[in-house]
């Protein structure tokens, strides 16, 4: 849970601060270039597509940059004709029409039209190709991540929260797709536009260009002074947003508990306080970053006025054509755009590389070990053997040492013991969710490390401590354990597990969709469904890790009854908290702190008057807490 919360606040922060570089700082990749190269290798198959995209992007921006100057020629033509006309009038010549060369203007406008069209067409094709390239690349990346996730040991999932894993698989992937699609070409077009515009400006007048450039340091000072302080507030805003999210999440997830303990007022007060902090931080962040835009506009306009003034003088002197001044002013507008764009892109790319790095981190995780071990198969009647087995969780001391257990086919093995004794752990080991640290676990005489995991698991079915049902119909949930089950088998299983009777009373019957917490059916009914699911699987060996939750007595009887049917003639491991369930187990394994402290059947153990007898008696003394 604690890890889950972290991801709320450390979610990759988009690079989209309201005004470019005044936004929150993006996460940084640890190995920027290494990750870039690796990401590039995913795209290398589409190198031709990318080359075409780059060429088209360059052409599109060149045309884009050239148009103002060409269009300026039209203005110059009009101006020339007009001035000639005025001069003629002044000279006393009768003028019906100013001698404006409309043919030339038509030609110019046609050329401009063609250039805009070409530019638009190139942009379109380039977008089209790039979408394919980026989607294919992310597809490959997703495929690799997905197949990796299947090969990761369960311990990876113990150490990483669901939120963290999901954020990598979804947010980070989206980030990469978006950036590949847009940012790469934007880097090219922005650079070309910047260089092109500068080039055009110089070609018109180097003096005016220098005046225009003089405004840049001024803008830099503004950004340099204001941005850092707004960034500070953005960071604070982000932090309190994270805290607030946690609070909301906690209170919604636990709203029943909050209400039942009358902590609503408390929760609201806490929320209000945090909300107030968030409000202040956001307000300051937005306020300060909001200053940047008007300041920049002011500086830009100052430059504009200067150019218009000096340019006007030069036009009057005949130093520069009027159309060129018009073009120059247009260029001045376009000039700062690629700079801000590149600054934004730098953030986007940083964040994306960080995303890619997080995905590669998962892809590089050590995988489950599939090497067979040098333990020969043995001839045995035993179904399952735990032979001098040692086990401890990753990074923890050994929990179990020299654990021995032989299970005959059809035997019912009950595992009991106080909480934390290692009962669930034994079961996880049987199904090879974790690897033993020493000794051997054998199934039909063969070490389970010499079988595939799928093979091992095909012998088992589980009814688990936390009844896991997915969002879907009851029918699909039942079918989940065995996709080959026929309709008749599924209904028979539902009947055997006392599911059929209550499902028939639901308005949608077997098509009832279970919601996320399956709150539309009761806890006991959920358990019955998981039992029915095990019936559908019809496994050789059954594992029951009994839920501690108490259900009403009638359902309890149903569960007991269903379990007994399910266990009949089957090898089974039963972790029972209600010791009454396991009175007729063939063998009861009493565990404490990872070790077996007693074995025997109920009567033997009671006669022994040891650990088990204590447990049993304490339960019937009314102390059910185990």
Which residues of this protein are in contact with Mg ion, per CB under 5 A?
424
Judged by beta carbon distances under 5 to 8 A according to partner kind, the member of Mg ion, ligand ATP, none in contact with residue 564 is none
Judged by beta carbon distances under 5 to 8 A according to partner kind, the member of ligand ATP, Mg ion, none in contact with residue 419 is ligand ATP
Q: Residues near 104 by Cβ (< 8 Å), separated by ≥ 6?
A: 77
CB of residue 427 to Mg ion, shortest distance in Å: 8
Residue 420 makes contact with ligand ATP by CB under 6 A:
yes
Which is closer to ligand ATP, CB of 17 or CB of 422? Answer: 422
Which is closer to Mg ion, CB of 191 or CB of 424? Answer: 424
In whole angstroms, give the CA distance from residue 265 to residue 243.
18
- Tokens found for residue 607: 């006669």
Which is closer to ligand ATP, CB of 52 or CB of 368? Answer: 368
In whole angstroms, give the CA distance from residue 219 to residue 398.
63
CB of residue 526 to ligand ATP, shortest distance in Å: 18
Residue 433 makes contact with ligand ATP by CB under 6 A:
no
Pairing of strands 438-443, 446-447: antiparallel
Which is closer to ligand ATP, CB of 85 or CB of 418? Answer: 418
CB of residue 418 to ligand ATP, shortest distance in Å: 7
Which is closer to ligand ATP, CB of 313 or CB of 624? Answer: 624
Which ranges in 205-321 belong to alpha helices (H)? 206-253, 255-260, 264-316
Burial of 97 (0-12, 13-18, 19+ CB in 10 A): exposed
DSSP state of 371: -
CB of residue 585 to Mg ion, shortest distance in Å: 17
Question: How many other C-beta atoms can be found within 10 angstroms of the C-beta atom of residue 418?
Answer: 14
Which is closer to Mg ion, CB of 274 or CB of 546? Answer: 546
In whole angstroms, give the CA distance from residue 376 to residue 250.
52
CB of residue 575 to Mg ion, shortest distance in Å: 6
Q: Of 80-88, 406-414, 420-428, 613-621, which part binds ligand ATP (CB under 6 A)?
A: 420-428
- Tokens found for residue 315: 């036009």
CA distances to 44, 65, 422 from 597, in Å: 60, 83, 12
Residue 421 makes contact with ligand ATP by CB under 6 A:
yes
CA distances to 79, 102, 512 from 74, in Å: 9, 9, 72
Among 188, 292, 399, 448, binds ligand ATP (CB under 6 A): 399
Which is closer to ligand ATP, CB of 285 or CB of 605? Answer: 605
Q: Residues near 614 by Cβ (< 8 Å), separated by ≥ 6?
A: none
Residues paired with 400 in a beta bridge: 391
Instruction: Write out the binding residues for ligand ATP, residues 513-542 only, by CB under 6 A.
Output: none
Is 435 within 8 Å of 369 (Cβ atoms)?
Answer: yes
Residue 596 makes contact with ligand ATP by CB under 6 A:
no
Question: How many other C-beta atoms can be found within 10 angstroms of the C-beta atom of residue 125?
Answer: 14
Among 90, 150, 265, 396, binds ligand ATP (CB under 6 A): 396
CA distances to 23, 128, 349, 413 from 582, in Å: 62, 66, 60, 9
Which is closer to ligand ATP, CB of 271 or CB of 393? Answer: 393
* Helix count and strand count (H, E) for the chain: 20, 12
The residue of the chain with the least Cβ separation from Mg ion equals 424
CB of residue 496 to ligand ATP, shortest distance in Å: 26
Among 15, 17, 422, 439, binds ligand ATP (CB under 6 A): 422
Q: Of 124-132, 350-358, 414-422, 601-609, which part binds ligand ATP (CB under 6 A)?
A: 414-422
Residue 123 makes contact with ligand ATP by CB under 6 A:
no
Question: How many other C-beta atoms can be found within 10 angstroms of the C-beta atom of residue 396?
Answer: 7
CB of residue 377 to Mg ion, shortest distance in Å: 31
Which is closer to Mg ion, CB of 332 or CB of 585? Answer: 585
CB of residue 602 to ligand ATP, shortest distance in Å: 19
In whole angstroms, give the CA distance from residue 356 to residue 28.
11
CB of residue 476 to ligand ATP, shortest distance in Å: 28
422 three-state secondary structure = coil
CB of residue 420 to ligand ATP, shortest distance in Å: 4
In whole angstroms, give the CA distance from residue 390 to residue 400.
5
Q: What does the per-residue mask of binding to ligand ATP show for 151-190, with x meaning CB under 6 A?
A: -------x--------------------------------
Closest CA to 383 of 245, 215, 573: 573
What secondary structure does DSSP assign to 413-437, as a single string?
EEEE-STTSSHHHHHHHHTTSS--S
Residue 425 makes contact with ligand ATP by CB under 6 A:
yes
551 three-state secondary structure = coil
Residue 424 makes contact with ligand ATP by CB under 6 A:
yes
Residues that bind ligand ATP (CB under 6 A): 158, 393, 396, 399, 417, 419-425
């Amino acid at each position: 849970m604690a890890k889950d919360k972290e991801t709320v606040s450390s979610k990759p922060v988009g690079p989209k601060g309201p005004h470019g570089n005044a936004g929150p700082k993006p996460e940084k990749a640890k190995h920027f270039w290494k990750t870039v190269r690796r990401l590039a290798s995913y795209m290398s198959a589409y190198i031709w597509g990318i080359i075409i995209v780059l060429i088209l992007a360059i052409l599109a921006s060149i045309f884009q940059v050239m148009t103002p100057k060409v269009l300026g020629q039209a203005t110059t033509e009009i101006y020339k004709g007009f001035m000639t006309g005025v001069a003629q009038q002044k000279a006393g010549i009768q003028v019906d029409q100013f001698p404006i060369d409309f043919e030339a203007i038509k030609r110019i406008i046609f050329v401009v039209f063609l250039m805009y069209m070409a530019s638009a067409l190139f942009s379109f094709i380039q977008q089209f190709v790039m979408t394919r390239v980026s989607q294919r690349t992310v597809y490959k990346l997703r495929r690799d991540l997905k197949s990796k996730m299947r090969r990761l040991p369960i311990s990876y999932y113990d150490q990483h929260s669901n939120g963290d894993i999901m954020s990598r698989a979804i947010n980070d992937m989206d980030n990469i797709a978006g950036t590949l699609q847009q940012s790469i070409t934007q880097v090219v077009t922005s650079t070309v536009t910047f260089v092109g515009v500068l080039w055009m400006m110089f070609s018109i007048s180097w003096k005016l260009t220098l005046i225009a450039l003089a405004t840049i340091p001024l803008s830099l000072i503004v950004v340099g002074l204001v941005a850092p302080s707004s960034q500070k507030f953005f960071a604070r805003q982000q932090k309190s947003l994270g805290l607030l999210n946690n609070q909301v999440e906690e209170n919604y997830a636990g709203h029943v508990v909050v209400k039942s303990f009358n902590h609503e007022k408390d929760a609201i007060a806490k929320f209000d306080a945090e909300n107030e902090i968030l409000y202040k931080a956001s307000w300051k962040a937005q306020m300060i970053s909001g200053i940047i835009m008007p300041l920049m506009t002011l500086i830009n306009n100052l430059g504009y006025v200067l150019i218009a003034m000096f340019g006007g003088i030069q036009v009057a002197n005949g130093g520069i054509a009027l159309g060129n001044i018009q073009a120059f002013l247009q260029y001045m507008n376009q000039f700062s755009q690629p700079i801000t764009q590149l600054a934004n892109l730098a953030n986007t790319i940083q964040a994306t590389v960080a995303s890619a790095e997080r995905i590669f981190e998962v892809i590089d995780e050590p995988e489950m070990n599939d090497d067979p071990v040098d333990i020969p198969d043995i001839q045995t009647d035993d179904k399952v053997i735990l032979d001098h087995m040692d086990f401890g969780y990753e990074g923890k001391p050994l929990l179990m040492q020299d654990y021995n257990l032989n299970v005959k086919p059809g035997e019912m093995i009950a595992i009991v013991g106080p909480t934390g004794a290692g009962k669930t752990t034994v079961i996880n080991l049987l199904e090879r969710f974790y690897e033993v640290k020493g000794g051997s676990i054998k199934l039909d005489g063969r070490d389970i490390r010499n079988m595939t995991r799928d093979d091992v698991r095909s012998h088992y079915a589980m009814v688990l401590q936390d009844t896991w049902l997915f969002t879907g119909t009851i029918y699909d949930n039942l079918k989940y354990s065995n996709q080959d089950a026929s309709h008749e088998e599924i209904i028979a299983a539902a009947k055997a597990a006392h599911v059929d009777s209550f499902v028939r009373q639901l308005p949608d019957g077997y098509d009832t969709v279970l919601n996320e917490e399956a709150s539309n059916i009761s806890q006991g009914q959920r358990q019955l469904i998981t039992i029915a699911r095990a019936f559908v699987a019809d496994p050789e060996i059954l594992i029951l890790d009994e839920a501690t939750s108490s259900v009403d007595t009638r359902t309890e009887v149903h569960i007991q009854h269903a379990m007994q049917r399910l266990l009949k003639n089957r090898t089974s491991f039963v972790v029972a908290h209600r010791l009454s369930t396991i009175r007729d187990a063939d063998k009861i394994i009493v565990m404490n702190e990872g070790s077996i402290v007693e074995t025997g059947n109920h009567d033997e153990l009671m006669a022994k008057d040891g650990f088990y007898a204590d447990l049993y008696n304490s339960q019937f003394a009314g102390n059910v807490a185990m």
